[in-house]
Structure 1
Amino acid sequence: MSVTVEEVSDGDAWNDLLARSPGASPFHRFEFLEVCADHAGATLHPFVGYRGAEPIGLFPVFEMRKGPFTAAFSPPPDLKVHYLGPAPLNPGGLKRRKRDRRNRRFVEAVLDRVDREFDPRYVNVRTSPAYDDERPFLWAGYDATPRYTYVLDLTRDEEDLLTAFSKDLRRAVRREADGFEIAEAGTDGIERIVEAAAARHAEKGADYNVTPSFVADVARELPDGMLHAHVCREHGEFCGGEVSLEHDGTVYGWQSAGDVSRSVPVYDLMYWHAFRAAKARGCESYDLLGANNPDLCTYKAKFAPDLRTYQALNRGSWEMKAAARLYKRLR
């Protein structure tokens, strides 16, 4: 039976289906997608694949137009949305042959619809680590680049978790930090964290196009308990903070900033607090969202996380790929 593709504009219906996908992330939530579309200046196409009347997968795609050219993204660029792409529904009970066939037909059906309706000159998809079969994209002529992230297992007790850390990290989180405190953050705190992250990236000459209003809008639109934000203060003065997202037992460390000139190890204490808080809520893992920058990897590896792989997939003319690379360097 062939696969048909429809757009689902009912956010509740989309989120109900999302709950049936082991490959979903908080970035797949309908509220999150709508905020992304608004801030990216893109048109959201929340595609659902059906085999007969049975929904078999979700695949949100963002259509972006620049002059005479159209591009398709999943996720949209410049918003620090690490994963998106296909989210298969209920694949666990299928035998390998049926699972492969369903995944292939679903992805092909969505890509065919994108080509028919948008005729994009460039397409970019970034999957989640839970999506483990990108072959339909390769067979459709897409180029694949492996990407990496670190995921920390929170099912261990706190002492075992701490024992696995590097020696200097253990010493840092066990030492008394006089005058240092971490507290939950509201909208003002969230905006302050994003501003600090932007300043930190600017100091390094690195790209960071996330705005305080974007993260504040995400915080406002997501259901309670999905976004967590904390600010760090030393003797009452702001010195950092983090914003994380939670979905299906995993916390995603989304945005963070810390003042490394302080007398206390802000990042060490901030992450340790985030891990403990996630563990206290019953979460089983913490995704550090990224293991692709050598300098950041050196730091994140101190937590003794597991390495996971996901894929960056793209298709387009040589000119459009070159333009995309140039855009990434100059944006």
Structure 2
Amino acid sequence: MQIEELTLDDWSGALPKEGIEVFHTPSALSVVADHAPGELRLYGGFKGEQPVGLFPVVVQDRPVGRAVFSPPPGMGIPRLGPIVMPTSPKQRKRERVNRRFTEAVLEEIEVDDSLTLFRSICTAEYTDPRPYRWADMDVETKFTYVLDLDDRSPEDVRRSFSKSLRREIGDGEELDLRIEREGVEGARSVYDATRRRYEEQGRELSLDWDYVRDLVTQLEDRARVYVARTPEGRFLAGITVLYSNDAGYFWQGGTRTTYQGVEINSLLHWHVIRDIIEDPPIDSITGYDLMGANTERLCQYKSKFGAELVPYYVTESSGAGMEVAKRAYRMVAK
């Protein structure tokens, strides 16, 4: 297995069309490179000239060692991690490619060094984290909610919602308000509302507006901002949605908002879902990732959409000496 460090152009040429997150796209990674606290490195694994694995990481050099993250903390990137592209459908060969690619990348970034902290949040498509466990790393299972929209009508999807969710959407549709797709200006309104909500909860939003603005701008059609306004144009609530080739991702916003006695966030989500079915930014999109399946209070709401609970894996350095560094990472990630 040959490991090479790629340019963004090289990365673009090697990236598969399926099984990737929106942050694997060159446009998103270019923004990450500009704003991440560290150096973005794009690793590719090759069998001859054939790419069989890709892995973007951000490397932070510190006085006491190095940290290697995929995704970097505090940037609102839900998942990133490795992409493995075996050329054979046979299970034995797929496992071998995954194992050899993992071993080669971990050796390249020197995770065996006692002063190197490694952490990766893998895509839901990456289903075999065993090579990380075999490398004496910790592996944890997390979850997300993905609503399957493939070959389904809006009416069929809506019928699958809980009764209370259908009622809430119906009540919202009777209100005198506008829900429209907006650009960067709308994204700023969503960002400001999210920041205020964090402040009310005694927390600090880790995302800078410059980063959010650049991401929405660079992603172009891969980012949509849904905003609810009063007839006079006053902002009520909004959602920023990002899109891979496979799914839309609820990324930012959705702060709890009541208008004329009705919660309107469900109506925002419904507009997103209906557009994915009827007017997707990319024709291959077949799902809506609602996120938030690892927080109990959020699950009580998001399970109402009838989405599938989908696992994904977090891999990270193990050992007592890494516990302090990992706790600091989690604080930043929140």
Q: Distance in 2 between matches of 1:174 and 1:213?
A: 36
User: Residues 161-172 of structure 1: matches in 2 within 5 Å?
Assistant: 161-172=157-168
2:117 equivalent in structure 1:
122
Any conservation in 2 of the 1:84–1:128 contact (CA below 8 Å)? yes
Alignment counterpart, residue 225 of structure 1, candidates 197, 221, 226: 221
Any conservation in 1 of the 2:228–2:238 contact (CA below 8 Å)? yes
2:177 equivalent in structure 1:
180
Q: CA RMSD in A?
A: 2.0
Any conservation in 2 of the 1:122–1:320 contact (CA below 8 Å)? yes
- Residues 16-69 of structure 1, C-alpha deviations (whole Å, 9 max, x = no match): 32135x331111112212312322221011000011221101101110123332
Any conservation in 1 of the 2:6–2:42 contact (CA below 8 Å)? yes
2:143 equivalent in structure 1:
148
Q: Distance in 2 between matches of 1:8 and 1:121?
A: 22
Alignment counterpart, residue 278 of structure 1, candidates 276, 279, 302: 276
Alignment counterpart, residue 215 of structure 1, candidates 212, 219, 222: 212
Q: Which moved more, 1:121-130 or 1:110-119?
A: 110-119
User: Residues 180-259 of structure 1: matches in 2 within 5 Å?
Assistant: 180-206=177-203, 208-222=205-219, 224-235=220-231, 236-259=233-256
Percent same amino acid at aligned positions? Answer: 34
Distance change >3 Å, CA 207–CA 279, structure 1 → 2: farther
Any conservation in 1 of the 2:79–2:121 contact (CA below 8 Å)? yes
Q: Distance in 2 between matches of 1:316 and 1:202?
A: 34
User: Residues 55-94 of structure 1: matches in 2 within 5 Å?
Assistant: 55-91=51-87, 93-94=88-89
User: Residues 252-271 of structure 1: matches in 2 within 5 Å?
Assistant: 252-263=249-260, 264-271=262-269
The residue identity in structure 1 corresponding to 2:304 is: K
1:325 equivalent in structure 2:
327
Q: Which moved more, 1:260-269 or 1:289-298?
A: 260-269
Q: What is the CA-CA distance between 1:225 and the residue it aligns to?
A: 1.8
Q: What is the CA-CA distance between 1:7 and the residue it aligns to?
A: 0.8
Q: Does 1:300 align with 2:302?
A: yes
Q: What is the CA-CA distance between 1:159 and the residue it aligns to?
A: 1.3
Any conservation in 1 of the 2:183–2:224 contact (CA below 8 Å)? no
Q: Distance in 1 between matches of 2:155 and 2:27?
A: 37
User: Residues 45-64 of structure 1: matches in 2 within 5 Å?
Assistant: 45-64=41-60
Any conservation in 2 of the 1:182–1:232 contact (CA below 8 Å)? yes
Q: Does 1:18 align with 2:15?
A: yes
Distance change >3 Å, CA 237–CA 307, structure 1 → 2: same
- Residues 98-140 of structure 1, C-alpha deviations (whole Å, 9 max, x = no match): 1100110001101100007987521101101100110111111
Q: Which moved more, 1:209-218 or 1:94-103?
A: 209-218
1:28 equivalent in structure 2:
24
Count residues in correspondence: 325
- With structure 2 as the length reference, what TM-score do the two structures score? 0.91
1:111 equivalent in structure 2:
106
The residue identity in structure 1 corresponding to 2:128 is: D
Distance change >3 Å, CA 121–CA 12, structure 1 → 2: closer
Structure 1 ranges of 4+ moved more than 4 A: 116-120
Q: Which moved more, 1:144-153 or 1:33-42?
A: 33-42
- Residues 59-95 of structure 1, C-alpha deviations (whole Å, 9 max, x = no match): 011101233321000000011101111111255x421
Q: Distance in 2 between matches of 1:158 and 1:120?
A: 52
3-state SS, counterpart of residue 258 of structure 1: coil
- With structure 1 as the length reference, what TM-score do the two structures score? 0.92
Any conservation in 1 of the 2:117–2:325 contact (CA below 8 Å)? no
The residue identity in structure 1 corresponding to 2:243 is: E
